[in-house]
Amino acid sequence: PPGAALKVDVAVIGAGQAGLSAAYHLQTLGQRRFVVLDAGSSPGGAWPFRWPGLTLSTVNRIHDLPGLAFSDTLGPDETQVQASVTVPHYFEVYERTFDLPVRRPVRVTRVTSHGERLKVETDRGDFSARGIISATGTWEAPFIPDIPGADRFKGRQLHTRDYRTAGEFTGQHVIVVGGGISAVQLLDEVSRVATTTWVTRREPVFREGPFGDDAGRAAVALVEDRVRRGLPPESVVSVTGLPMTPAIRAMQARGALQRLPMFSEITEIGVRWPDGTEVGADVILWCTGFRSALDHLAPLGLREASGGVQMTGRLATQVARDPRIHLVGYGPSASTIGANRAGRAAATELLTFLGLR
Ligand code: FAD
């Protein structure tokens, strides 16, 4: 009947790296009654929206999804090509190759519990599922700290998410806020055409030498430990430090990496520190990161008092309060390699829990 919820066993929400990995494994495990609901109008997860200056040589590394190598979908010598073009192309080929049941654009607005089933409400009709793998990433939840006076500022404020090219800021004074990789990359671009002030909460730590597998595992283990205790995950950079690269050395050499501590107030014309020092600015660029996009799950009351979601399961993808729900690309799996592994663990554990394998 019109308006009736379409019944499935599993609904995967989001078709980025995490959702596609989960979908691949559901399919490989013989599951035929699942859908992938994706808000994007075309394949690619959050990648189509990355700034144009982010190329395959400036991303950290895009790990292969299971079953098809990224390099097999790239033309010759495409390392300088925009990640916002090549990764969506990879995902498009991937969805087609494995004939994954992705529906788009479908935005999940709310998930509610009705006995054994979960109702997945979307802007294109409802679904009724026995289990959910939520893979909605972070791109839709930009985070900007609450600083007094922010609404008074007469200049322009924007977040990493809204950044396109440095050319927009030519000749202006830009305050770049944030200590992560995105902050440093955008500071690099902007400081070539504008004067800049760089502000971070903590003294940035630059890591010499490659980030080895052991260090990677240790960093992930720290975040995993937090989510197993129900705490909000921290940003990966807070546990890994920033990799020292030739680009960063060049920034140091031209004086673009002079860092100031966080200001305490925003004025009409700039920012002010607790000791009264002021810096005027045309632009405040907030490279202050993202939070997990989990609003659609709010009706389920999964959050602890700390604001985190307590996670369990082999790779900490299962929600402790409701084992029918897995979060992939969340906390310890918020990287392309982590999302891959989490997709597999979530698909396997959820089907086992539902008695479907
Ligand atoms: P996303 O790619 O964000 O996909 C989420 C999908 O869910 C989107 O398609 C979105 O439309 C959809 N969605 C969201 N909400 C809803 C909803 N309510 N209903 C339906 N669909 C919804 N990691 C690396 O390992 N290497 C890198 O080099 C790297 N570079 C990065 C560069 C930048 C600038 C950023 C911000 C992150 C980077 N990361 C990198 C982290 C990496 O992007 C992520 O860990 C990973 O790609 C995220 O995949 P995902 O599937 O979790 O989310």
Q: How far is the CA of 100 from the centre of ligand 1 (A)?
A: 18
Tokens of 178: 């944030």
Contact 318, 326 (CB under 8 A): yes
Asked if ipTM goes beyond 0.95, one says yes
Q: What is the pLDDT along the chain (357 residues), one digit of tens a residue?
A: 567 899 999 999 999 999 999 999 999 999 999 999 999 999 999 999 999 989 888 787 889 999 999 999 988 777 678 999 999 999 999 999 999 999 999 999 999 999 999 999 999 999 999 999 999 999 999 999 999 999 999 999 999 999 999 999 999 999 999 999 899 999 999 999 999 999 999 999 888 876 677 778 888 899 999 999 999 998 766 677 788 888 899 999 999 999 999 999 999 999 999 999 999 999 999 999 999 999 999 999 999 999 999 999 999 999 999 999 999 999 999 999 999 999 999 999 999 999 999
Biggest CA–CA distance in the chain, Å, is 68
Q: How far is the CA of 236 from the centre of ligand 1 (A)?
A: 14
Contact 126, 119 (CB under 8 A): yes
Indicate the SS3 state at residue 185. Answer: helix
Supply the pTM of this predicted model.
Answer: 0.95
Residue 237: name the closest of 275, 207, 209 by CA: 207
Place of tokens 């990640």: 83
27 burial type by CB count under 10 A (0-12 exposed, 13-18 middle, 19+ buried): middle
Q: Which amino acid, 187?
A: L
Q: Is the dihedral of CA 77, 80, 84, 85 positive or negative?
A: negative
Tell me how far apart the alpha carbons of residues 326 and 330 are, in angstroms, rounded to a whole number. Answer: 10
End-to-end CA distance of the chain: 30
Q: Is the dihedral of CA 244, 207, 341, 289 positive or negative?
A: negative
Residue 145: name the closest of 282, 279, 242, 287 by CA: 287
Q: Of the residues 25, 49, 139, 297, which should be mutated to test ligand 1's pocket, given the most ligand atoms within 8 Å of the CB?
A: 139
Tell me how far apart the alpha carbons of residues 60 and 83 are, in angstroms, rounded to a whole number. Answer: 11
Q: How far is the CA of 158 from the centre of ligand 1 (A)?
A: 20
Give the number of the atom of ligand 1 that is nearest the alpha carbon of residue 336.
Answer: 25
Q: How far is the CA of 339 from the centre of ligand 1 (A)?
A: 9
